[in-house]
Amino acid sequence: MARFSSPLQHGRCGIPEALVQRYAEDLDQPERDVATNMDQIRVKLLRKQHRMAIPSGGLTEICRKPLSPGCVSSVSDWLVSIGLPMYTSALTEAGFSTLGQVPSLSHTCLQEAGITEERHISKLVSAARLFKLPPGPEAM
């Protein structure tokens, strides 16, 4: 069974909008339908654990707020925030292990890291260009 982030464990939405969007694209389904299904799964799992679970009425409305830079403390967090968490290992193994390296991601280095999906490469490069380092020494 998958582990969820602490906001999700406490019954609140913790699924980034970008992840909902990617699943909607991958499944060729409307974003709202994917968000509704993800929310139903979230509520079901929380209730199974005897935890408070309040249906959000659709994750898309709750998840529209951008992730604040303070919430991104690792390359893995950044990848989750843009909806591409499956590339954590590939980037780490390719030497991209700190947030300070994110802005230097390029099409070539992503391909060399073994990422072949052009749509994902484009999204990674675009997000890397927009990325701003959060304050603090752990980002370096």
Q: Where are the domains of the chain?
A: 15-64, 75-130
- pLDDT tens for 80-119 read 888 888 899 999 999 999 999 999 999 999 999 999 999 8
What is the rounded average pLDDT for all residues in the chain? 77
Res 55: pLDDT: 67
SS3 label, residue 56:
coil
Structure letter (DSSP) for residue 55:
-
**Residue 77: φ, ψ to 5°:** -60, -45
The helix or strand, by DSSP H or E, that contains position 36, with its residue range, turns out to be helix 31-48
Residue-by-residue pLDDT tens, the chain, 140 positions? 343 443 333 334 556 778 888 889 889 999 888 888 888 888 888 888 887 666 666 444 444 444 555 577 889 888 888 888 889 999 999 999 999 999 999 999 999 999 999 989 999 999 999 888 766 655 44
Cα 32 from Cα 8, distance rounded (Å): 19
Write the DSSP symbol of residue 90: H
Q: Which of 20, 23, 5 is nearest to 76 (CA)?
A: 5
For 33, the token pair is 């339908």
Please give the CATH topology (third level) of the domain spanning 75-130.
DNA polymerase; domain 1 (1.10.150)
In this prediction, residue 61 carries a pLDDT of 45
